[in-house]
Amino acid sequence: MGNMKTGFFTSLPLALVLFACGGSGANGNGRPTVGPAEVPWTAGAWTQPVPTWGSTTRVTIPYPLSTISLPDLGAFGAHEGGHPEGLDHVWLYNSTDNQVKSWADGTVTEIDVYSDQTMLTIDYGNGLIGKHMSVQTASVSVGQKVKAGDVVAVGIPGSLNNEFQLMDENRGDGIKTDVNGFSYVSPIDYLQKDQQAELIALYEAQVVAPFFTLGEQVNAGKPWEPYLTNQTLIHHQNRGMLVGEWVLGNRQWSTPDPLYFDILTINAVTNAFGQFSKFNCSDYNLSDPKSKGIVSGNFASGPQEGQVTFTYDGSATPNWYGLFSIDESGARAIMKLEWSAQGFPVAISSSAAVYYERLPVYVGRDAELLGVLP
């Protein structure tokens, strides 16, 4: 069956090429996406260089870095928390106040008010656009010009007070924006060089040296995704392997399935901090009373080809015994997975979960394309 392979996974090589679809045509603003769909990945680097065709505008974290809790930093691309599909933004906790400030000079272009939060968008020029997510109220209005460091919103008390997303209209690699088709990019990659260097030094001192070098995680920091900018899409460079971001394609996401999760990310990594075999999974509709929530843990190969076990964090024995196959004969890889809490299935049945390799789009949009979300 073409490139059909079963039961094979190994450690992740670090020198990889980031994969994404697209990279040509025009975005919703009529501007061409200049950059190609694939950008060489700099292995072992805390941040990634901005390609020459990327925006020349740079941003600044608008707080003293000493006030940022770096063990709680949600790094770009990391598959963690409520984002097993990978973060397309960053989390920052500022310990001094709850004011949300602009990362650069720009013009407020959009303010979206929802029942539980507000989001505001600022155009910094040269194709670079920032979005402040999950704020309580905006302190500015659409069309208003702001300077770097200006207060633009009030954060939600007791929550992330700086959840920040950056988009570059000049690029066509990585995860694409929902409508316009240009790229979500790591804000850390676009920092002014002096502040970027300061942040890396503090991160190495407060997170890497005391925790990662011992193979330990700390709060949001994970030694298997240790960088300030991590790879989001991970199956394309791991063909024939279980490793990847997988979206459930044969169950509806509106109501959680009693057995299988809507999003399943499996990651095998060998790096300077150790060897890790991790999984992270979640239902899409976490507010549903039937939701299984967000689960993470370790996976391991079984005694026979195609067998795999999944053990939740804190569990002494496997929670699921799985049998899987991967078909890569089509445009996107398809994984069939049958699992049971009692033992390894003897065969993959018609009731097995069918997972698809994630496309480089917002995961909800991917589910819509698969017909599992309205």
Residue 86 belongs to some domain of the structure: yes
Residues 190 and 309 in one domain: no
Residues 154 and 249 in one domain: no
Residues 205 and 240 in one domain: no
Residues 210 and 246 in one domain: no
Residue showing tokens 């011992």: 214
Tell me the one-letter amino acid at 195. Answer: Q
d(CA 107, CA 76): 24
Residues 98 and 163 in one domain: yes
Burial (CB count <10 Å: 0-12, 13-18, 19+), residue 179: exposed
DSSP state of 139: S
pLDDT in tens, 298-320: 999 999 999 999 999 999 999 99
Domain boundary among 156, 180, 214: 214
Q: How confident is the model at residue 271 (pLDDT cuts 50, 70, 90)?
A: very high
Residue 20 belongs to some domain of the structure: no
Residues 347 and 299 in one domain: yes
DSSP state of 154: E
Q: Is 10 a residue whose pLDDT tops 60?
A: no
Residue 283 belongs to some domain of the structure: yes
Kindly report the CATH number assigned to the domain that includes residue 184. Answer: 2.70.70.10
Residue 316 belongs to some domain of the structure: yes
pLDDT, position 12 = 27
Residue 8 belongs to some domain of the structure: no
Residues 198 and 293 in one domain: no
Domain that residue 108 falls in: 53-214
Residues 325 and 358 in one domain: yes
Q: Looking at 144-158, 188-202, 302-316, 325-339, which range is the least confident one?
A: 144-158
Q: How confident is the model at residue 262 (pLDDT cuts 50, 70, 90)?
A: very high
DSSP state of 196: H
291's CB contacts (< 8 A; 6+ apart) are 256, 283, 285
Residues 256 and 197 in one domain: no
Report, as an integer, the average pLDDT of 155-161.
Answer: 69
Kindly report the CATH number assigned to the domain that includes residue 297. Answer: 2.40.128
Residue 310 belongs to some domain of the structure: yes
d(CA 353, CA 365): 20
Percentage of residues in the chain having pLDDT higher than 90: 73
CA 123 to chain centre: 23
Residue 25 belongs to some domain of the structure: no
Model pTM score: 0.86
Residues 141 and 207 in one domain: yes
Residue 13 belongs to some domain of the structure: no
Residues 181 and 259 in one domain: no
Residues 122 and 246 in one domain: no
Percentage of residues in the chain having pLDDT higher than 70: 89
Tell me how many domains the chain contains.
Answer: 2
